[in-house]
Chains A and B, each alone.
Chain A
Amino acid sequence: MTERSADHPATRSTAPGRITDHPILGPVPERRRVVFYHDGRPVEAFEGEPIAAALEAIGVRVLRTTARRGEPRGLFCAIGRCTDCVMTVDGVPNVRTCVTPVREGMRVETQRGLGEWHPGGWPR
């Protein structure tokens, strides 16, 4: 796990889906930025926000595909009930990404079907 400074250019979260200011909630408070890996690609995020929120912010909407027909599924309930958003996180399948906080260096993979424990092919 690498420590990053707050002004590291790679971690500045200016993704199009980010709300920076809001008429009622005001500007978004400063949070620690982290980088996690989505299918091997680095993604900037705020520490502690749900994985699914960080992915929505950069426009990633397909979080898994179904077992039989390979249909895409994404965020649906956002409160940990429906399990449509499950992905493989750090080699553990079926993790509810809408209620699982992002951590530095986390490996998040699009899950195929029911997923597998510790799938191969990960950059180590």
Chain B
Amino acid sequence: MIADIVVIGGGPAGLSAAAAAAAHGARVTLLDEQTVPGGQLSKQIHKFFGSREHLAGTRGFAIGRRLLEDALAAGVDVRLGFAVYAVHPDTGDGFEVAAYGGKAIRLRGRRLIVATGASENPLAFPGWTLPGVMGAGAVQTLVNLHRVRPGRRALMVGSGNVGLIVTYQLLQAGVDVAALVEAMPRIGGYLVHAGKVKRAGVPILLRHTVIEASGNRRVERAVIGRLDEQGRVVPGSEQELEVDTICLAVGLSPLLELLLILGARTAYIPALGGHVPLHDLDQQTSIPGLYVAGDVAGVEEASVAMEEGRLAGLAAAGSLGLGDPAALAEAKREILARLEGLRAGPFGAARREAKVQQVGRPLDLASPPAAAAAPATSDPPMAPAAPATSVVAAPAVAEAGPAAGIPLRRRPLAVIECPQEIPCNPCETACPRGAITIGSPITNLPRVDPAACTGCGLCLTACPGQAIFLIDRSGETAKVTFPYEYLPPPEIGRTVTAVDAEGRPVCEAVITAARLTGKADRTWAVTLAVAHEYAGVVRGMLRRGR
């Protein structure tokens, strides 16, 4: 039997593609080599960025589950545990796919959607082959899927979102993180992710790298050092860290093998992870009937992967004469508009420009293809992250912000310390009073209307960046409320050490409230009573036992 569409890969892109195509009547078979569906989502335990359409504010593994349910409900034949090892071109009776999962199977599909994702880049240094040096994804798999701690004390290499998020997840699992080193002079990922690990006291060392790992047949220590402007280790800057795990988070590369077998044309575009397949606005490659979506089409993020998947699924179904053409065209316009939003702002802009180069035309339907792509640059622009000092400056932002303006307010006020234009709006959607505005594009910075804010705190636990705090200056002591996701749970009445945005101790403080609502999905809202002078500074507390 021949399927209408075969999808390879059951992550956010593949599941979204399969569900979208099946919803328009396509008979779809999806294969994934892992037995756990959702791709990387199955290991993601943090709340996701994006908007409602991307299930933002929901934890990654729950998004993966939802996407799988949607695909199954749409009638997709999902086959887990099957690794595709060969694909054959369409010579008239569809693409042939060979897979193995305890038994060998062969499938045919009139259209083929490849959503194989990306793999982690390694980093070679003396000692890097020692047991205990692992990919950040490996660590995440162990901790969140298999529930096993990789060692007791880790060094993280790389400050992109993966490095920052996995550092936070190591801490949540009870593994200490000695430091996070980043060779670049700035943090690569979102500063709100960096804020979580800084508040937990993990030093983020910029212009630092790992020089060596050593130990008796396993990692027992790491040597790190500072880099000069030319990227050379500054003599005398070396320090030894006692760690048993070194975690590499130095980027991802698209998993292109199946596309290369079929002869799809590729281009080298560093901003998208290296070699990527060329594709059009339908996500179709240079091979007719062969589509790509998600990280294999260029390393971006899960919300982009979902949208690209839908795009590919709709286009593949439409090309088979399925679905209503007008409805498909309208859906495509909407998806392209949302993708524009996700690629706005300082982080998205470089990827957007790279995407124009990859697609070879403007990324909307209105502009004619003849308007042509931006010229390929040999030096693609880096995401101009805010200066590293902006997190340090966060308390000052709070002082200068609305909180400082209305000291006589009788209620707490939401203070948002979200310094970068990232594609995310759960705070806006969470507020029942409409007191928070982001609007369009989704990368706009949130604005709080102090007159409308009741201090209810729904935004505080909804914010995936944990960048919203409640500050109440009405009483004799000020009260600062912050999100908290560690064990043991906070206890009302306990005296703790309050810390600032950098994780530096500020003062002793008593927990006066600790709320955990169902809606908050395991994020506590912890309130500390502090002297008024510290209200703009205190942003968290030391974990017990620290």
Contact (Cβ within 8 A) B172 A24 = yes
B182 at the interface (CB under 8 A from A): no
Contact (Cβ within 8 A) A24 B45 = yes
Looking at chain B's contact residues, is the secondary structure mostly helix, strand, loop, or mixed? loop
Q: From A54, which residue of chain B is reached at the shortest CB distance?
A: B148
A71-B129, A80-B33 as given contacts; A19 in contact with B149, CB under 8 Å: yes
Q: Which of B133, B142, B485 contacts A53 (CB 8 A)?
A: B142
Assembly CA distance A28 to B487 (angstroms): 14
Residues of A within 8 A of B45 (CB): 24-25
B457 at the interface (CB under 8 A from A): no
Contact (Cβ within 8 A) B148 A56 = yes
Q: Which of B34, B135, B147, B217 contacts A76 (CB 8 A)?
A: B135
Q: Which of A61, A62, A76 contacts B138 (CB 8 A)?
A: A76
Q: From B217, which residue of chain A is reached at the shortest CB distance?
A: A72
A113 at the interface (CB under 8 A from B): no
B150 at the interface (CB under 8 A from A): yes
Q: How many A-B residue pairs have CB under 8 A?
A: 97
Assembly CA distance A50 to B149 (angstroms): 14
Contact (Cβ within 8 A) A77 B59 = no
Contact (Cβ within 8 A) B485 A57 = no
A22-B173, A24-B485 as given contacts; A79 in contact with B141, CB under 8 Å: yes
Contact (Cβ within 8 A) B148 A77 = no
Contact (Cβ within 8 A) B217 A77 = no
Residues of A within 8 A of B132 (CB): 61, 74
Q: Which of B120, B149, B173, B218 contacts A72 (CB 8 A)?
A: B218
A interface, size bucket: 20 to 34
Q: List A66-106 residues whose CB lies under 8 Å from chain B.
A: 71-81, 98-99
B477 at the interface (CB under 8 A from A): no
Q: List A35-76 residues whose CB lies under 8 Å from chain B.
A: 49-50, 53-54, 56-57, 61-63, 71-76
Contact (Cβ within 8 A) B131 A72 = yes
B444 at the interface (CB under 8 A from A): no
Contact (Cβ within 8 A) A74 B218 = yes
Residues of A within 8 A of B137 (CB): 77-79
Distance between A101 CB and nearest chain B CB, rounded to angstroms:
8
Residues of A within 8 A of B119 (CB): 77, 81
Residues of B within 8 A of A25 (CB): 45, 144, 147
* Residue from B129, B139, B148, B149 having most chain A Cβ neighbours under 10 A: B148
Residues of A within 8 A of B139 (CB): 78
B174 at the interface (CB under 8 A from A): yes
Contact (Cβ within 8 A) B146 A53 = yes
Assembly CA distance A53 to B36 (angstroms): 15
Q: Which of B135, B150, B489 contacts A56 (CB 8 A)?
A: B150
Q: List B133-187 residues whose CB lies under 8 Å from chain A.
A: 133-135, 137-139, 141-144, 146-150, 172-174
Assembly CA distance A21 to B129 (angstroms): 31
A23 at the interface (CB under 8 A from B): yes
Residues of B within 8 A of A99 (CB): 34
A25-B45, A25-B144 as given contacts; A75 in contact with B134, CB under 8 Å: yes
Residues of B within 8 A of A81 (CB): 119
Q: Which of B135, B174, B489 contacts A77 (CB 8 A)?
A: B135
A32 at the interface (CB under 8 A from B): no
A17 at the interface (CB under 8 A from B): yes
A62-B131, A76-B138, A78-B142 as given contacts; A17 in contact with B148, CB under 8 Å: yes
Residues of B within 8 A of A77 (CB): 119-120, 134-135, 137-138
Contact (Cβ within 8 A) A23 B146 = no
Assembly CA distance A56 to B245 (angstroms): 12
A12 at the interface (CB under 8 A from B): no
Contact (Cβ within 8 A) A22 B487 = yes
Assembly CA distance A65 to B512 (angstroms): 55
Q: From A49, which residue of chain B is reached at the shortest CB distance?
A: B146
Q: Which of A21, A28, A56, A62 contacts B142 (CB 8 A)?
A: A56
A118 at the interface (CB under 8 A from B): no
Q: From A64, which residue of chain B is reached at the shortest CB distance?
A: B131
A4 at the interface (CB under 8 A from B): no
Residues of B within 8 A of A54 (CB): 148
Q: From B524, which residue of chain A is reached at the shortest CB distance?
A: A23
Residues of B within 8 A of A76 (CB): 133-135, 138
Contact (Cβ within 8 A) B141 A78 = yes
B55 at the interface (CB under 8 A from A): no
B522 at the interface (CB under 8 A from A): yes
Residues of B within 8 A of A53 (CB): 142, 146, 148
Distance between B166 CB and nearest chain A CB, rounded to angstroms:
12
Distance between A5 CB and nearest chain B CB, rounded to angstroms:
22
* Residue from B130, B141, B143, B218 having most chain A Cβ neighbours under 10 A: B141
Assembly CA distance A16 to B33 (angstroms): 30
A62-B218, A73-B129, A74-B218 as given contacts; A23 in contact with B141, CB under 8 Å: no
Contact with A along B506-524 (1 / 0, CB 8 A): 0000000000000000100
Contact (Cβ within 8 A) B147 A79 = no
Q: From B45, which residue of chain A is reached at the shortest CB distance?
A: A24
Assembly CA distance A25 to B487 (angstroms): 11
Assembly CA distance A110 to B112 (angstroms): 40
Assembly CA distance A28 to B144 (angstroms): 10
Q: Which of B34, B120, B147, B217 contacts A22 (CB 8 A)?
A: B147
Contact (Cβ within 8 A) B34 A79 = yes
Q: Which 7 interchain pairs have the tightest Cβ spacing? A: A74-B131, A78-B138, A61-B131, A53-B146, A78-B141, A72-B217, A19-B147
Q: Which residues of B contact A (CB under 8 A)?
A: 33-34, 45, 59, 83, 119-120, 129-135, 137-139, 141-144, 146-150, 172-174, 217-218, 485-487, 489, 522
Known: A19-B149, A56-B142, A72-B131. 9 other contacts (CB 8 A): A19-B174, A24-B45, A49-B148, A54-B148, A75-B131, A75-B138, A75-B142, A77-B120, A78-B141
Would you give 24 A-B contacts (Cβ < 8 Å), ordered by A? A18-B149, A19-B143, A19-B148, A22-B172, A23-B489, A24-B45, A24-B59, A50-B146, A53-B142, A53-B148, A56-B148, A61-B131, A61-B132, A72-B130, A72-B217, A73-B131, A75-B142, A76-B133, A77-B120, A77-B138, A79-B34, A79-B138, A79-B141, A81-B119
